[in-house]
């Protein structure tokens, strides 16, 4: 593993596939121009709209999203995570799928989100992700890279389930991806502290691309795409506008924190 720059992109995705992909391409190019070698896109990067519209367009969204990720990775010669897009299971359900793509345009890891957001938020919004999404059945993967470090995948609501991240750490993860479309109401209180907790307890870097702003109707997300170091220090924060959070992933810092605070070696219950 070497030192390199990683980028967590922040978008305001809409119920418009083509427009979202144009915005995503512009942000990827911006990150690459700043030197990023690892780029993460948020959950729902290619489409964020009503559930019935997502299902109606799911096949097109899936095909174009996957092609887009592979094209961008190859064009810019970077590793890219597409943080979540629908892949049809049948006519009424999709998997919320995160896809990691290598610089040569090949798929290197895929994760189907296991924890679905079925919550009545106190701001009056009700979310029922399971109405259109089928829960994945497999633990998220760790992609082992000699140059970038070991990359563990997750998606959004997963961040509230620490056992998932302990599994990734147990499998050797150095970097935890948490691409999200966190609600504005819960995000203001929980987003940052949950990300810091996942970084600290697993002594891992956290790369958290995010959605921000108003997407349609009452759907509003928190923003603050972040990169956090293994000590819990926020290295970059994209604020509340579309943009890029970019920071160095440093193996020396990772080794230092794990040497000073060897929590993973002290586990009693594994």
- The yes-or-no answer on residue 156 being catalytic is yes
Q: State residue 165's pLDDT score.
A: 98
Rounded Cα distance, 129 and 34, in Å: 35
Can you give the residue range of the structural domain that contains 19? Answer: 4-265
Does residue 155 lie within any of the structural domains?
A: yes
**Mean pLDDT, range 253-259, rounded to an integer:** 97
Query: If DSSP states are collapsed to H, E and C, what string results for 172-217?
Result: CCCEEECCECCEHHHHHHHHHHHHHHHHHHHCCEEEECEEEEEEEC
Q: State residue 150's pLDDT score.
A: 98
86 within 8 A of 94, measured Cβ to Cβ? yes
Of the listed 64, 70, 113, 204, which one is catalytic? 113
Over 80: is that where the pLDDT of 124 sits? Answer: no
Does residue 270 lie within any of the structural domains?
A: no
**Mean pLDDT, range 131-145, rounded to an integer:** 97
Q: How many CB atoms lie within 10 A of CB 267?
A: 11
Q: Both tokens of residue 32?
A: 């690459």
The strand pair at 126-128 and 142-143 is best described as unpaired
Q: State residue 203's pLDDT score.
A: 98
Does residue 170 lie within any of the structural domains?
A: yes
Q: State residue 113's pLDDT score.
A: 98
Please give the mean pLDDT across all residues of the chain: 96
Residue 240 per-residue DSSP state: T
pLDDT per residue as tens digits for the range 75-87: 999 999 999 999 9
- The yes-or-no answer on residue 43 being catalytic is yes
Of the listed 37, 66, 70, 156, which one is catalytic? 156
The strand pair at 4-11 and 36-41 is best described as parallel
171 within 8 A of 200, measured Cβ to Cβ? no
Residue 154 per-residue DSSP state: -
Over 90: is that where the pLDDT of 5 sits? Answer: yes
Does residue 185 lie within any of the structural domains?
A: yes
229 within 8 A of 235, measured Cβ to Cβ? yes
Band of residue 121 on the pLDDT scale cut at 50, 70, 90: confident
pLDDT per residue as tens digits for the range 182-217: 999 999 999 999 999 999 999 999 999 999 999 987
CA angle 44, 45, 47 (to 5 degrees): 65
Over 80: is that where the pLDDT of 253 sits? Answer: yes
Does residue 150 lie within any of the structural domains?
A: yes
Q: How many CB atoms lie within 10 A of CB 90?
A: 7
Sole residue written with tokens 């359900």: 93
Q: State residue 122's pLDDT score.
A: 84
Q: State residue 125's pLDDT score.
A: 79
Does residue 56 lie within any of the structural domains?
A: yes
Does residue 69 lie within any of the structural domains?
A: yes
Question: How remote is the C-alpha of 230 from its chain's centroid?
Answer: 17
Over 90: is that where the pLDDT of 20 sits? Answer: yes
Of the listed 43, 66, 70, 204, which one is catalytic? 43
Domain CATH code at residue 17: 3.60.110.10
* Number of domains observed in the structure of the chain: 1
The β-bridge partners of 126 are: 120
């Amino acid at each position: 593993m070497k030192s390199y720059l990683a980028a967590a992109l922040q978008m305001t995705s809409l119920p418009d596939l083509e427009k979202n992909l144009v915005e995503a391409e512009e942000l990827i190019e911006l990150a690459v121009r700043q030197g990023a070698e690892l780029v993460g896109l948020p959950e729902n990067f290619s489409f964020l709209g009503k559930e019935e519209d997502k299902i109606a367009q799911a096949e097109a969204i899936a095909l174009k999203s996957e092609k887009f990720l592979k094209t961008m990775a190859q064009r810019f010669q970077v590793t890219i995570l597409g943080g979540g897009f629908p892949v049809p299971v049948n006519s009424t359900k999709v998997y919320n799928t995160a896809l990691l793509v290598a610089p040569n345009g090949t798929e290197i890891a895929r994760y189907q989100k296991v924890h679905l957001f079925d919550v009545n938020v106190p701001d009056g919004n009700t979310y029922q992700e399971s109405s259109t999404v089928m829960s994945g059945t497999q633990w998220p993967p760790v992609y082992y890279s000699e140059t970038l470090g070991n990359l563990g995948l997750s998606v959004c609501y997963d961040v509230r389930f620490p056992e998932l991240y302990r599994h990734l750490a147990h499998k050797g993860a150095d970097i935890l991806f948490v691409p999200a479309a966190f609600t504005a109401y819960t995000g203001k209180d929980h987003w940052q502290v949950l990300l810091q907790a996942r970084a600290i307890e697993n002594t891992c870097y956290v790369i958290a691309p995010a959605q921000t702003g108003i997407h349609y109707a009452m759907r509003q997300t928190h923003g603050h795409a972040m990169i956090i170091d293994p000590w819990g220090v926020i290295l970059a924060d994209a604020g509340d506008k579309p943009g890029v959070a970019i920071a160095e992933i440093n193996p020396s810092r990772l080794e230092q924190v794990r040497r000073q605070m060897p929590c993973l070696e002290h586990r009693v219950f594994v």
